[in-house]
Structure 1
Amino acid sequence: MAAASVTPPGSLDLLQPGFSKTLLGTKLEDKYLCSACKNVLRRPFQAQCGHRYCSFCLSSILSSGPQSCAACVHEGIYEEGVSILESSSAFPDNAARREVESLPAVCPSEGCSWKGTLKDYESCHEGQCPFMLTECPACKGLVRLGEKEHHLEHQCPERSLSCRHCRAPCSPADMKAHHQICPKFPLTCDGCGKKKIAREKFQDHVRACGRCRVPCRFHAVGCPEMVESEQQPEHEAQRLQEHLALLLGVLLEAGRPPGDSRLLLRPGEGALEAGTPSRVAELLQRCEALERKTATFENIVCVLNREVERVAVTAEACGRQHRLDQDRIEALSNKVQQLERSIGLKDLAMADLEQKVLEMEASTFDGVFIWKISDFSRKRQEAVAGRTPAIFSPAFYTSRYGYKMCLRAYLNGDGTGRGTHLSLFFVLMRGPHDALLRWPFNQKVRAGLPRRACVPGRWAAGLSRAPRCGSR
């Protein structure tokens, strides 16, 4: 058979080297292992030296040009000009592929009881096992594929929730902190006992509720009392002298030159040291000025509070938009992965069709088949080394709708003829028209080796018998 050029593997093959050895349910033979990754062959290719490689591994090795076969070097059988890996001399090893795909396999995922063949595993189970561990895109933890959706909706610590009070998006870890600032979070008034007051309306309620205990208006100058709102006037009337004494002390302290430590007020006496109408009027004017300044500052604080709220709303909107963008990016990434998988499956189907076309071109439909084995010396050397003990011919037919068959040759012999004979077997294959044919198969099969005649370019009419010929 002529060496075929390497067909560029599909995107699925580029992402997947050989199958893990843990997949096989039986003892593994070395001929099924990739010479590069040492795993079970996936889409095997055979180099001209006889070693087999996964499609992924061979593409990786040849990405930088032709390379020496590391397996030949390791085994000490390196041959100049033969032990070279290059795309023009490597070809798909379909015989090895069929053997590998028929091997029994078990799913390596813990808890999964799936069993079948490697072919079934690759086409139906690989990447779809509900027990397979996958990474959660949000929390980066490992979860089973079958539990991933439930994890994302109910268990993931990084999943997005909505506050039940204000409907703002928030993660479970930040929900408690969010409740401390949520404008819709329900509060309870300690004065009147009213419940479910939104935080954004609580200050309005405190100002309107007469039972709420609030600091005295003179707490800024030293009054420690907490009084109910409706009792504030009565408290101020009862403590007028104390309030004036505290206020006077603060004013005099503020107007005293630095370093002057004279005692201006005797709090123990509870009254003013001295006072005149003019002095009281001056103090009242200062109080009015302070009240005006305080009102100005309160207005500034209100404006700043509104600005902070506006910035917080803007930041929250930006955060929501960012999360929406992240979700959209994730959805597009999933779609790209699905398209890559679909393209990979189409590549596999196209490769199968190409192989079928090649087989049809090499087939005959008259029961006569001449098998030309190219590069016989190299292939016999591989058979002697045990790497490729048998080779198969293309399929041929007895007629257009007849039996399908092929030949299997052991170039170094098989059984008792190993090492001394060439063993040839007739293989009856499953054909598309077997239901129309007579069974069991009882036709005569004749095999032989053609001899070249003396005249160049012609064949002798007779057929010489092979040293050993078997049929099966």
Structure 2
Amino acid sequence: MVGYKIQNLGSIDSSYKCSCCSFLLRNPAQLIECAHRLCQSCVNNQPGESIVCPQCNEKTLRSKVKPDRGCRNDMQSLTVCCALCGWNGPLKNYEAHLGEKHPNPMCEFCHATYPSVIDLNEHVSYQCPEVLVHCPLEVFGCEDNIRRTDLSKHYSTGRHQRILINVVPSREFQSSNSIVRRNELEESLDVLSTVIQQANEDQGHLRNECRENERNLEALLQDLSVSRKSVEEEFVFLQKLVNDQQISQCDIVSIQQKLHDMKSPSSDGTLIWRITDVKQKIEDAKSNVQPSILSPVFYSSPTGYKICLCLHPNGNDSAQHTHMSLYFVLMRGEYDSILTFPFCFKMIFCLIDQTGKQQHIFDVLEPDLSSSSYQRPQSEKNTPIGFIKFVPLRILQQGNNAYVRNDTMFIKAMIDFTNHPKEILSYVLNISPGMTAVAQHAMIEEERRVHQQRSVSK
């Protein structure tokens, strides 16, 4: 049993990854000597009384390897993306999802099926004959990637033998954190020599098998139906590789988005979200590659509420294929302990008209103080709340429309701290975003004063 295989592993904190199998930790155990973590099953798979950390080569007595329950509890709320489909949710629900939706997964390398995803991951990590693995002498220059089933044959190659001859006489070499001396190399050589001897024996068997295969070649060439099926399977496999590449690209975009959020968050209660590649994002949502996207994080003030927006480009639930859905998301922030909850301010959402005609599409989200979406966040994000039918897709898909130009659109979000009258909302949204927050606030207050005077005169 190895760790959890997930799509979004690249966005998970490295402290939650197993130093041995490189998957997300399952039943984490901590090595006391170096503080790195491994899956409990990866610890159990190491022989002897000392556990060697794959990350730093530090040794820890097996008796000093302790289950890290604190880390395991912290991980339960991690949001993970299923490695086999588009499902995402907290880690605590992942195993149940795998058991329900993927009862007999197939190995992408050898196409064998397994009773569970756990068995599949262990098969790929340790047993699958078709997986490419590194030569044990990679650090000494043997950089070949070999199918696991061909390792024994590789050990008998001239290239591998020459590297062995160069490595053995050296007195010592430097590893990442320790010096491995010659006697340790000689012990490794004894093991490799045994493997090479076995490889030579296997070579004789393979020779006999080759002769048998040559006798069967003519019959195999005549079996066109089998060949056709093989080609079809290869085509399906290539399609899966293309899909995996698309998923990886989505992960890269997500990481880039998070890096952008960390660099320049707005802290005046206003966000202008620039969304590029609109057409592709709608297509990705339709195919469930990426059903939703998150905006950069912004704050109500430098020490205020932490917020982001969630956009479903192809709509959510009953609005799928007809509208874009837009939601407000209250996030767990650094200053929550000194803020007042529930969050009690209106949110103004606006799809900006890029033609200069100021025909913006906007709506106001009134706070529901009884909803959990407005309470103090207990996890990374509260449940999104907002407009399931924010804007019809037919408007955005019209040629030369006012809201998508150069495949880019802009969504503006504002926290309405002062409860603007509806009559001045259009004025507020038309103020140039190029002005400073102070200047914008002054113009809004002046417009409010003029509006009040007009109301009194009437």
Q: Normalised by the size of structure 1, how large is the TM-score?
A: 0.30
Point out the structure with the larger strand share. Answer: 2
Q: Normalised by the size of structure 2, how large is the TM-score?
A: 0.31
Structure with larger Rg? 1
